[in-house]
């Protein structure tokens, strides 16, 4: 039986890739400071805004906004004309 195989590919600066990199960095940092951390993290990215949501159980306290901003800087969003810039984007952290 014939089938159709499709796949999606997005560029490095695509919001999905940015969100994945932020989520990965948060998990990596929590585990680095508390190896028994439990982190379920979702990151949403849109023009000028990042939403970090999920469940975090950890003995470590991290400045998640700083971690997210560092990732955004490393990706290259450092100019306001991009309409998404590491130093000025809003970052909302909602967790349980």
Q: Which tens digits make up the pLDDT trace of 19-32?
A: 999 999 999 999 99
Q: Could you count the other beta carbons within 10 Å of the beta carbon of residue 94?
A: 9
**Per-residue pLDDT, 7:** 73
Q: Which tens digits make up the pLDDT trace of 35-56?
A: 999 999 899 999 999 999 999 9
pTM of the shown model:
0.86
Q: What is the mean pLDDT of the chain?
A: 92
**CA-closest candidate to residue 42, choices 50, 29, 33, 52:** 52
Contact residues for 32 (Cβ-Cβ < 8 A; gap 6+): none
Distance CA 42, CA 58 (A): 17
Calculate what percentage of the chain has a pLDDT beyond 90: 75
* Model confidence at 8: pLDDT above 80: no
Q: How many CA atoms lie within 13 A of 8 on its CB side?
A: 4
């Amino acid at each position: 039986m014939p089938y159709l195989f499709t796949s999606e590919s997005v560029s490095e600066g695509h919001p999905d890739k940015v969100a994945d990199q932020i989520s990965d960095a948060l998990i990596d940092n929590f585990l680095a400071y508390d190896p028994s951390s439990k982190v379920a993290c979702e990151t949403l990215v849109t023009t000028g805004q990042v939403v970090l949501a999920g469940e975090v159980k950890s003995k470590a306290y991290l400045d998640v906004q700083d971690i997210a901003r560092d990732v955004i800087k490393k990706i290259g969003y450092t100019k306001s004309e991009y309409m998404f810039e590491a130093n000025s984007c809003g970052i909302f952290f909602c967790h349980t």
